[in-house]
């Protein structure tokens, strides 16, 4: 895929660069829990700073739905970034108004400003052309380094490119280079897809796209509960998408000729409550009863997954295999993550939830070929969809 990249900009000194990043990082009690999305954008930020550009940073946080939500302000993010790069980052309290324009116009070379949460503006998600034009008026050039938001047609990810020359940052470039071979070339086989997490909608396109291309599908997490229900098993009091059971059944019918390769759990970890001190039981799926919650894959399923991983040439993994926020339900993810980390294959980890789960089970990120910052964006890219935030960067 031929895209315009940051290094193609001939002279950045004195230019005002409108930089879209994704600093939508997990927060708890006002503290950042995982700074991966911030640290992975540092290469682009430091490059621009060293070249003498003024940087106007745009990001969203959470889903404020066009309203100002105090806990979703980017003030702490700006302070955290400032400490990382040892350079002042001036945080503004608005996305765009006369005061913002005045502050940006008075910037000196190498200075950095961070605008307020772009999603505080309802015009952002609408990709309102007037709002996009206002944002574009702040810069001379637009750089998109927010791969994880590239599937969103928003003003700050796509709209500004109607008014400014647009280029990919280093993180965007790395993501595209890492993921493109999976869909453009013949992967090293066997090709194994591991899907976990909760939602079936975000995975369905990839599963259908790879139904005749993948050698194995390994299904875990709450996602597996929906497939188990579709297969006629009692999932007790487990989280599953009742309205998606028919969709799951259709997918299983599509993969009928690959029955031995589309694998759902045959044993699970259950509990009656979700807590750090929950009493758990390890059961065959047939023994799950009405008051039980399925919260992890069982050890026999994990062993089966690992046997497949050990003979795979390429593994793509999206979504934790259990409720990894709580230690009693981390074992399935840990066993599979450790097996994949040991195995010498192409390993693509997709999405913040998966990356966060790997941190929780203490498996180093460096053991994998590529960990994508995008969950939905990674899946849509792999399913063959055209991502609006990437389309604007094509030559």
Q: What is the mean pLDDT of residues 55-73?
A: 96
**Are 200 and 148 members of one domain?**
no
- Of 144, 174, 204, which closes a domain? 174
Question: Kindly report the CA angle at 391 between 373 and 345, in degrees rounded to 5?
Answer: 40
Rounded CA separation 23/86 (Å): 18
Rounded CA separation 180/80 (Å): 32
Count H helices and E strands in the chain, helices first: 15, 17
Q: Is the pLDDT of residue 255 over 90?
A: no
Q: How remote is the C-alpha of 276 from its chain's centroid? A: 26
114-128 confidence digits (pLDDT tens)? 999 999 999 999 999
Rounded CA separation 314/327 (Å): 29
CA distance to 66, 219, 221, per residue, from 333 (Å) = 36, 12, 9
Retrieve residue 58's tokens: 């745009």
37-52 confidence digits (pLDDT tens)? 999 999 999 999 999 9
Q: Is the pLDDT of residue 157 over 70?
A: yes
**Are 132 and 40 members of one domain?**
yes
Residue 395 lies in a domain: no
Residues β-bridged to residue 282? 269
Residue 148: CB atoms within 10 A of its CB come to 25
Helix (H) or strand (E) holding 269: strand 267-271
Rounded CA separation 18/370 (Å): 27
Whether this model's pTM surpasses 0.75: yes
Question: For the residues of 12-55, what is the DSSP string, one character each?
Answer: -TT-EEEEE------EETTEES--HHHHTTHHHHHHHHHTT-EE
**Are 85 and 211 members of one domain?**
no
Q: Residue-wise over 208-232: b if at least 16 C-beta within 10 A, else e? A: ebbbeebbbbbbbbbbbbbbbbbee
Q: Is residue 318 within 8 Å of 373, Cβ to Cβ?
A: no
Q: What is the pLDDT of residue 204?
A: 85
Residue 217's CATH number: 3.40.50.1260
Q: Which of 4-8, 255-259, 280-284 has the lowest mean pLDDT?
A: 255-259
**Are 69 and 192 members of one domain?**
no
Q: What is the pLDDT of residue 258?
A: 67
Number of structural domains, the chain?
2
Residue 218 lies in a domain: yes
Q: Is residue 253 within 8 Å of 245, Cβ to Cβ?
A: no
Percent pLDDT > 70 in the chain is: 99
What domain range includes position 61? 6-174
Res. 382 pLDDT band, cuts 50 70 90? confident
Q: Is the pLDDT of residue 320 over 90?
A: yes
- Of 174, 208, 243, which closes a domain? 174
Residue listed under structure tokens 């008075």: 106
Q: What is the pLDDT of residue 298?
A: 98
Residues with catalytic function? 37, 199, 352, 376
Residue 181 lies in a domain: no
- Of 174, 203, 232, which closes a domain? 174
**Are 327 and 206 members of one domain?**
yes
82-140 confidence digits (pLDDT tens)? 999 999 999 999 999 999 999 999 999 999 999 999 999 999 999 999 999 999 999 99
């Amino acid at each position: 895929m031929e895209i315009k990249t940051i290094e193609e900009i001939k002279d950045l000194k004195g230019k005002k660069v409108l930089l879209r990043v994704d600093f939508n990082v997990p927060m708890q009690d006002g503290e950042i829990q995982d700074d991966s999305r911030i640290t992975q954008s540092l290469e682009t930020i430091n490059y621009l700073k060293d070249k003498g550009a003024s940087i106007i940073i745009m990001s969203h946080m959470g889903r404020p739905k066009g309203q100002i939500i105090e806990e979703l302000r980017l003030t702490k993010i700006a302070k955290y970034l400032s400490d990382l790069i040892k350079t002042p980052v001036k945080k503004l309290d608005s996305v765009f108004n006369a005061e913002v324009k005045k502050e940006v116009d008075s910037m000196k070379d190498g200075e950095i400003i961070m605008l307020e949460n772009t999603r505080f503006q309802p015009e952002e998600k609408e990709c309102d052309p007037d709002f996009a034009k206002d944002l574009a008026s702040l810069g001379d050039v637009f750089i998109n380094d927010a791969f994880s938001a590239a599937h969103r047609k928003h003003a700050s990810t796509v709209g500004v490119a109607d008014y400014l020359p647009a280029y990919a940052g280093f993180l965007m470039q790395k993501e595209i280079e890492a993921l493109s071979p999976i869909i453009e070339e013949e992967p090293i086989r066997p090709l194994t897809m591991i899907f976990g997490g909760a939602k079936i909608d975000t995975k369905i396109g990839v599963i259908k796209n790879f139904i005749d291309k993948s050698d194995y599908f390994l299904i875990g997490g709450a996602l597996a509960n929906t497939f188990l229900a579709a297969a006629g098993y009692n999932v007790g009091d487990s989280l599953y998408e009742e309205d998606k059971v028919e969709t799951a059944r259709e997918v299983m019918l599509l993969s009928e000729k690959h029955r031995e390769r589309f694998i759902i759990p045959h044993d699970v970890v259950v509990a009656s409550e979700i807590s750090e001190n929950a009493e758990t039981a390890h059961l065959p799926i047939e023994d799950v009863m009405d008051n039980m919650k399925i919260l992890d894959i069982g050890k026999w399923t994990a062993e089966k997954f690992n046997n497949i991983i050990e003979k795979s040439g390429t593994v793509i993994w999206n979504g934790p295999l259990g409720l990894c926020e709580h230690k009693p339900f981390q074992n399935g993810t840990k066993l599979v993550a450790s097996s994949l980390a040991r195995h010498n294959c192409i390993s693509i980890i997709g999405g913040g939830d998966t990356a966060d789960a790997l941190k929780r089970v203490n498996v180093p990120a460096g053991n994998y070929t590529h960990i994508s910052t995008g969950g939905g964006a990674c899946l849509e890219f792999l399913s063959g969809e055209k991502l609006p935030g990437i389309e604007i960067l094509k030559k």
